[in-house]
Amino acid sequence: MKVDILTLFPDMFKGPFDESILKRAQEKGLVEINIHNLRDWAKDKHKTVDDRPFGGGIGMILKLDVIDRAISSLTTDHRTPNTKIVLLDAGGKNFTQKYAKRLSMLDHLILIAGRYEGVDYRVHEKLADEVISIGDYVLTGGELPAMVITDAIVRLIPGVLEKSEATEFESFSQATNYKLPATLLEYPQYTRPKEYRGWEVPKVLLSGNHKEIEKWRKEQSIERTKKSRPDLLRR
């Protein structure tokens, strides 16, 4: 899989993409992540990528022509039916685990990280295949959402994690495994010491009875979801 990220602040990505699972996935050749500075596609000597909004208003808007040239450059040799151009915007569709799974199956993903007061709306209408938000709040730019989405997607690519089961029983992924119609949070997990300051690990997890452990985990997933995210059970 290839991920191209368009941003005005490429240095923001150096830490997250050079560590841990994302680093190993790139070293294995399972994903190629490229960070591009939008200013590289500006044509004037000042590398201008934004301008004032028509009709007046506060702030600056990222220019349509700059973004279009960037996308055209990145898709000249790689555009396939399995390519998606995604704009990151607080007004987009909510990013979920199911969304991540679908995007992880692409060959090529282009993420556009907005800034300032946003992007020329023609990017929404004419260039982006999808517009995604990572939550009902506003950030200073699309860089952090790009990192979140890339991380969520890459870990689902076959071979990235050592065991595929590692993703199957996580929060938001495991309802299918329990044959339930709702999305569930992950069950509680524990490790040594089995007792600390009087706080004990549930005895069923120490029993070695895998059938009872599986039953307990299913029950705990449902209870945890009821307590913390009851909205998931109503979907």
DSSP 95-121: P-HHHHHHHTT-SEEEEEE-BTT-B-T
> Using CA atoms, how far apart are residues 208 and 213, in angstroms rounded to an integer?
8
Q: Is 138 marked within a binding site?
A: yes
According to CATH, where is 1.10.1270.20 located in the chain?
Answer: 169-233
> Using CA atoms, how far apart are residues 84 and 107, in angstroms rounded to an integer?
9
Res 124: pLDDT:
95
pLDDT per residue as tens digits for the range 105-120: 999 999 999 988 899 9
| First vs last C-alpha separation in the chain | 31
Res 183: pLDDT:
83
DSSP 45-96: TT---EEPPTT--SS-EE-HHHHHHHHHHHHTTT--TTEEEEEEEEEEEEP-
Tell me the pLDDT band of 164, cut-offs 50, 70 and 90.
Answer: low
Give the chain's radius of gyration (CA, Å). 22
Tell me the pLDDT band of 166, cut-offs 50, 70 and 90.
Answer: low
Q: Is 198 marked within a binding site?
A: no
Q: What is the mean pLDDT of the chain?
A: 91
Q: Is 118 marked within a binding site?
A: no
CATH number (1.10.3720.10, 1.10.1270.20, 1.10.510.10, 3.40.50.1360) of 169-233 reads 1.10.1270.20
CATH topology of domain 2-154: Alpha/beta knot (3.40.1280)
Predicted confidence (pLDDT) at residue 175 exceeds the cutoff of 60? no
Predicted confidence (pLDDT) at residue 215 exceeds the cutoff of 90? yes
Q: Is 139 marked within a binding site?
A: yes
Predicted confidence (pLDDT) at residue 64 exceeds the cutoff of 90? yes
According to CATH, where is 3.40.1280.10 located in the chain?
Answer: 2-154
